[in-house]
Chain A
Amino acid sequence: MIAALVALIPTLGAFVPVLSDRAGRNICSISTGLISLTAFVLLMTLAPGVISGEEVGFRAAWIPELGLNFSFFVDGLGLFFASLILLMGLLVILYARFYLASADPMGRFYAFLLLFQGAMLGIVLSDNIILMLVFWELTSLSSFLLIGYWNHLPESRQGARMSLIVTGGGGLALIGGMLMLGSVAGTYELSEIIQRRDVVVSSPLFVPMLGLILIGAFTKSAQFPFHFWLPHAMAAPTPVSAYLHSATMVKAGIFLLARLWPVFAGTEMWFLVVSLAGLTTMVVGAWIAIFRDDLKALLAYSTVSHLGLITMLLGLGTRMAAVTAVLHILNHATFKAALFMSAGIVDHETHTRSIAKLGGLRKLMPITATLAIIASLAMAGIPLFNGFVSKEMMLEEASHTVYGGMPWLFPLLATLGALFSVAYSARLLHATFFGETRFPDAKHPPHDPPLGMWLPVAILVVPVIVFGLVPGLAEPIVRLTAAAVINGELPNFYLSLWHGVTPALVMSIIAVAGGLLLLAAYGPIEQMRQAAPRPEAKPAFERTVRAGAAGASGLTTFLHNNDLSRYMFVIVLAVAGLGAAAFFNTTHGGGTADMLGMSLPAMVGWLALLTACGVAVVRHHDRLLMLIVTAIAGLVVSLVFLQFSAPDLALTQISVEVVATILMLLALNLLPKSTPHETSAGLRAGHGVTALFSGVAVGALALSVLTRGYQTISDYHIAQAKPGGGGTNVVNVILVDFRGYDTYGEIIVLGIAALVIFALLDLGPKARQAAGAMARPLSSRSGEPHPIMLVVVTRVLLPLALTVGIFIFLRGHNMPGGGFISGIVVAIAFIMQYVASGYAWAHDRRRLDGQLMISAGILIAGATGVASWLFGSPFLTSTYDYFHIPLIGEVELASALAFDLGVFLVVVGTVLLSLSTISRAEAIGDEMEQAGTLPKPALGPEPAASQPAAPAPFARERQKEPV
């Protein structure tokens, strides 16, 4: 549990500084420091167990089906990294208290820092690899937030984005690789994976798995060719650079390599790829660092180089190289963080980080200079400082490495890397602290900062000297950590300053001498370098990102040109293509079942349908004709239902057809009366062929189904309709009983549709003007808009129609009918009044409005369902009984009838609300004409059927459309 708390306390404590920020800067930083300190104390309580070799950890199942457990374990490696993270964190918190300007929001800074700290601890303490991946992504995100902390500066934003893209992209690759690793190893727990080397190494997935994991590790640890993001991350405040980008986050990749060392080290691919990438990074990073003018940029490239050194050591795969890597992680963390903080102090005091503007600061800021000089000498690998010991051991390892049959390659390049690192360290020292005294702001000479700022540096310099003078003191830490990395027996070694005259010592001497010589010849070399072409990573990166964005945009614009016609074409083509692919890749043929004989009425109906479809396609420009043939097609469909034993469907279809046609005609009154010809003949042919193909395919599919036998799944419904549902109309019983929940959902959808229609036709002034202009004014209509015959007949018919509706409703449970059908019939009875007597007359006399009926219907249906709870049954369980009513006799009442009443009300409400809303829009013209405000716009009162309506806007539209 404690292991989990160590990671969770900083993560969850991230909100503390945000809250304590208001209490002042000291309280804010102290509260932040206390959180880190708590985590550190907890970690230390685990240390004895780890040292004595116990299993220290915590495990709770999270989503075990996915292999995801909330599990942590602490071993030597985890303890080492976690201590490093927390101790460095404490120093950085102290340093940042004095570094941040009063204008910088401190709470936000510390919150991000703690978030990062928790995520980083999560990486090094997670046992489950999926959990580790989550923390891994969290470090990328918190690093993004910290680099972009000064979000008003463009370079901060650019640097943050670049690091997020590179490390986030690497994180994606890592997820792939780690999931492969987990599935190959058969466990997602790291502590178990590292025991299963044989299974992993012999897997056929080995190469892609290792490749993806390495991409993840290399991007995070800024290994060549992914090193370019790290220098741009230096736009972050210096405490961030010291913490994330030298001591901890960039070591996450290295931690991963160390963690997986027992599984992968020693394989050929590991050796060839990792050691070479590390070596290249070391040399290239050091070379670039020599020529940087910005202190932090120089240190950033130096960091890249040192990370390369550690990577190379891990890549060599020997146990001694692993020990050396651990020692160098420790050494680098101390001297490099000290140097970053010193650079921050210089920047803070002189307001510049440019080496060209600085010099001789040794006299003005002696404490800072002393600390920085010691740390720089360690970075250069000068004896008596800790960097020397690990560098010597590195050179020793490199000196007997044979890469690809070339025994000279590694010794030579490693010496070169060391030489360059002497050169940039010497340049940094010489230009900043020695020579002529220079600083940009003559009025404010720099001086040593307050104690709080240099104390962290001093604390870091202590191990630099101690481990440099007496390397043996670091040995227990290194042994504990390296044993965890190797996961086996440690090699026989001891850390000491003097090993005698070894090849490594010779290489070291060459490096120091060569480095100083190189610096002496700095001027000419820099000129040569400036003249030579050199690849710049940032523009190339930007070009890549832009090309990707342009490619994506191009594809999007091609597919997504805001023209629905194009979308439909693409979608239909895609579906048809999929269907065709499936069709031609299997065997198929017609069925063999007997077909029903054709009848003459069926032939007539078929001809009517064919004609309707043909007219709809060919003459669709005439919109009135199009609506008429649509209604004909609907009629034929309802006849088909009637013919083939589906009276409920036939009733529904024909009544819906009436309502839908009225609705479409009402809409047409406000819309242009014809469709312009605007599709080219070629495209029309393309559409035609596609549509024809789809029609043939669907027809053939239907035929092949129809000519095959099948096993119905409806026997249960038929058998249980009467005994279970209390009705003989099986379709209705299914709707209101067996599948009542579905029906309940559907009436809610219907109600929502009606309410949306109501809201959509709540027109604004501009749309009202347009509607007024489109609706034909009273004066242009026939002399008698509401013929007296029609008015009288519909009013007389109303009670009759309502009776029919109620009759259909009541018998619905046993005979064709029911809530849906009777709802539409009753709605039609009301709509007849609107049609005959006009909107205003009917509207004034209506008693129930649509919204009320829809809500009441849904409530009644819902209440019927809920009522069954009272009897201890599930939602919508139906019941029925027989009642004896005097005069009428035995009557059956089912609870489903109440449910059907809800359906009925919703349907009536929906139809009435939709149609009356449209009618109201139609009436706008009449109102305006009576009020004398009817506009006489270009649309004209008579957008006649012969002309495309409103030609002017269309003409403008055509010009606007993209080519």
Chain B
Amino acid sequence: MELLVASGIGFLTATGIYLMMRRRTLPIVVGLTFLSYGVNLFLFTMGRLTIGAPPIYEGSNILYADPLPQALVLTAIVISFGMTALIVVLALRSFLDTGSDAAAIGPEDMVRDFGPEPRGNEW
């Protein structure tokens, strides 16, 4: 079981990283989602795998799954959603404004050009 979960985390991470290196916004957002899955699972597994022992208190001296990683991951899932929603809207807005969903800026689109040559003959 551990092997399946660990390899699953590996699949999710690799997929996420590959998609995040694409050149268009939507695949990058999806890549981030995959990476979030992987990271959340990874954090969750830090509490090790336990079957049939949810952390609902029924008395002492009973084995429970570790609740702390679960609490961390629960908020992480919700925050991941907020983040995904934000960047997907950011991507949408930039596409509507520029007509392109490329995650790269051409030099002529830069507001300021930090070129090597100084302006004027000051130096």
> Using a CB–CB distance below 8 Å, which chain A residues touch chain B?
154, 157-158, 542, 545-546, 549-550, 553-554, 556, 561-565, 568-569, 572, 595-599, 602-603, 606, 609-610, 613, 616-617, 620, 623, 626-627, 630, 633-634, 636-637, 640-641, 643-649, 652-653, 656, 659-660, 663-664, 667-668, 670-672, 675-676, 678-679, 687-688, 690-692, 694-696, 698-703, 705-707, 710, 712-714, 717-719, 721-722, 728-731, 734-735, 739, 742-743, 746, 749-750, 753-754, 756-757, 760-761, 763-764, 766-767, 770-771, 774, 814-816, 820, 824, 907, 910, 914, 917-918, 921, 939, 950, 953-954, 957, 960-962
Contact = CB atoms under 8 A, between A and B. Distances in A.
A698 B101 CA distance: 30
18 contacts: A157-B122, A563-B103, A597-B1, A603-B4, A613-B11, A626-B26, A640-B8, A671-B101, A691-B21, A705-B46, A706-B6, A730-B64, A739-B71, A753-B85, A754-B85, A757-B86, A757-B89, A760-B90
Contact of B57 (A598, A728, A824): A728
A700 B82 CA distance: 30
Given A603-B4, A691-B18, A699-B9, A596 B67 contact: no
A700 B25 CA distance: 30
A218 B74 CA distance: 61
B14 A630 contact: no
Contact of A678 (B8, B15, B23): B23
A637 B85 CA distance: 19
Contact of B21 (A572, A703, A749): A572
Contact of A692 (B14, B26, B110, B114): B14
B116 A553 contact: yes
Contacts of B46: 705
Contact of A633 (B34, B74, B122): B34
Contacts of B93: 760-761, 763, 767
B6 to A, nearest CB: 4
Interface of B: 1-15, 17-30, 33-34, 37-38, 40-42, 44-58, 60, 64-68, 70-71, 73-75, 77-86, 88-93, 95-97, 99-110, 114-116, 118, 122-123
Contact of B68 (A546, A649, A694, A734): A734
Given A645-B55, A671-B95, A699-B10, A705 B77 contact: no
Contacts of A569: 21
Contacts of A692: 14
B115 to A, nearest CB: 7
A703 B24 contact: no
B35 to A, nearest CB: 10
A919 to B, nearest CB: 12
Nearest to A698: B13
A698 B10 contact: yes
A699 B122 contact: no
A681 B49 CA distance: 40
B108 A690 contact: no
Given A652-B77, A731-B70, A695 B89 contact: no
A659 B73 CA distance: 18
A564 B103 contact: yes
Nearest to B4: A606
A718 B61 CA distance: 11
B6 A702 contact: yes
Contacts of A702: 5-6, 9-10, 41-42, 45
B82 A705 contact: no
